[in-house]
Structure 1
Amino acid sequence: MTLPTVWFLVVAFLWTGFFVLEGFDFGVGMLHKVVGRTDTEQRVAINTIGPFWDGNEVWLVVGGAAIFAAFPSWYATWFSALYLAVVLLLVALMARGVSFEFRGRMDDARWRHTWSWCLTVGSALCPLLLGVALGNLLAGLPVDADEEFTGTVADVVTGYGLLVGVTMLALCVLHGATFLVLRTTGDVRLRSHRVATLAVWPTALLLVAFAVWTPAQSDAPAVRSIAPPVAALVAVLVAALLLRAHRDGWSFGATAVGIGLTVVSIFTNLYPSVLVSTTDPAYTLTVTGTASGQYALQVMTVVAAFLVPIVLVYQGWSYVVFRRRVTGPPPPDPAVPEPGPPAPLDEGALT
């Protein structure tokens, strides 16, 4: 296996890991106002991802950096074509991050409502835009012989790209709902279970369309093009059965497999290309044609082999530490009277 192929697999691993981990963050962000009827319940939902969301976003940064370092031509062409989408993505990511920090800064209902909506909208835009971006790798963009994007904004909005974007959005909703079922108690958990049960079927229908359309976009062998999207669909259907059996951990694992295999489907159908050209198939960007030099890839491989296991162990440890369910403050005990005002001072007692 050549180093360019190794780094293509690394890129696929990073993007898959990002969607598996950040996917439930996006889902919780979209659902916290749905499963939480009161501010306390919404806070409980947000607290389930409090220890994880910023660390999970690092996977996106590293995934983009890996493309930049290992496949600079791919990075330049893809990101220049998606310039507007990247700007919107950055705004959505900033809105999410700021809302986590600012929502609880003031004890004001309007303030919290505003930042809750920023969290909801930002969490919905991110998987939608990223899904469209990944879908366009396979659907293709107008690229010329100089590896430059020659189209317009309208060329970026493709039918297949939109399907992938909406599918990723639905998968994140389902993934987030199963995570809330796993990490919460009481009414929040019951509502999350109801949302997850309802979200399974539209997600499954979208995956059926994805499983049919993806092989049609690809020249990959039949097994490589069909097996991953079909397996993703099966994983979501298994999640539905596990939800009905109230196997919280297993249902969350099944949705993680479903969203992961959906991303894997893009990369397995894309290889050995990295960006299909709709102008001329001869202009399609490939793994070997866009890779960095051999020495650069060797250095990157050594560094990654040392750092990646450390990061994986640390992040896995954080999930173990914060594995308990999140609960809200206990309700007041009606048998215990509220403390009244202090008794007046008896001046005679001081003489």
Structure 2
Amino acid sequence: MYEKIIKTDLGADVKIIDLRTDTISRPTQEMKEAMYIAEVGDDVYGEDPTVTELERRSAELLGKEDALFVASGTMANLIAIMVHCSQRGCEIISGDKAHTYRLEQGGTAQIAGVQTAPVKNKDDGTFSLDELREKIRKNPDMHEPITSLIIVENTHNLCGGKALPLDWLEKVSSIAAEHNIPVHMDGARLMNAAVFLKVTPRRVVRDVDTVCFCLSKGLGCPVGAVLAGSTDFITKSRRIRKVLGGGWRQAGVLAAAGLVALDTMIDRLRIDHDHAFKIAKAIHQMKSNIFKVDRAKVQTNILLMYVDRNKVDIKELQRRLQTVLDTDSVRASVRCSSLKFDCVRFVLYHEITAEDVQLACDKIQLVIKEYDEIFNLENYDTVA
């Protein structure tokens, strides 16, 4: 539809509003200053005091015995899987929309040599407890792998940033305990879940054995994630981190930003959640038959806008939102991502201001109106 009029040049009066993901968030000035003056040492030898302090603070925040600073959430999840699944023939159970299953390049199998038994995720990020029970293979027949780990994701990315219900997590933990199976939480956006649920991070992870959270997403740090669990688990994790190439040296320059994040960036996540809801409200107000959003399901900083695939090409929609035509009344280039075939994703973070959000709302509404008018005209011509 728009292929012949899409432009790549943006004028000086155009504001770029990048809502593709929160990983593109940049460190705050306070973080930069802390990084500049950070006391450092060789972390492989356990001699970086800033890293040690970040790990101590993180373990305390989560109510776990110990913690490990690693390069990314993907690395943290892989380490956890390799520690929990330490023998050949292991199998993990996770949701079929889980990040570890769908978006980490199959590292579970590719590197860890572990098979995944997926269970169907519900819209809220949970999965059936009955199906979980059916998937568990503990002390199985010699032909079968051994269930060695259950993974949950909180908040759930592909389900639109949903925070897992605390009572559901408790039930998963209870089932796992019956079979002596550990539970790992991929908590990349764990702090968003805690803010939405209005509880402490410690409470969110109370019923899991191990957990990781990212510093480089909504918390705004340039690099890093934290993996936490028992002292024995972290000792083993430190060894696995080394073989994966994650044994960094003067990492205190990065850990310093993490310490600032723990002090200053968690409570403010509520602003990002409010911004996401405002965009959802703007989409809903258009009452479009082509573009839909369920405001009641917008909980944290991720918003999914579903589209009628019979009328809208996702890539074309992304290009139009990003393009500013000479005739556009809204001088904003809105960038979004698409991880599913039937929707685009908007993700909010600390650098997106209230003014940016209003501009994004105006631009999204402008594009929705264009599509609606075109298809209403086509329907009119067909009837005529």
Q: TM-score, normalised by structure 2?
A: 0.27
Which is strand-richer, 1 or 2?
2
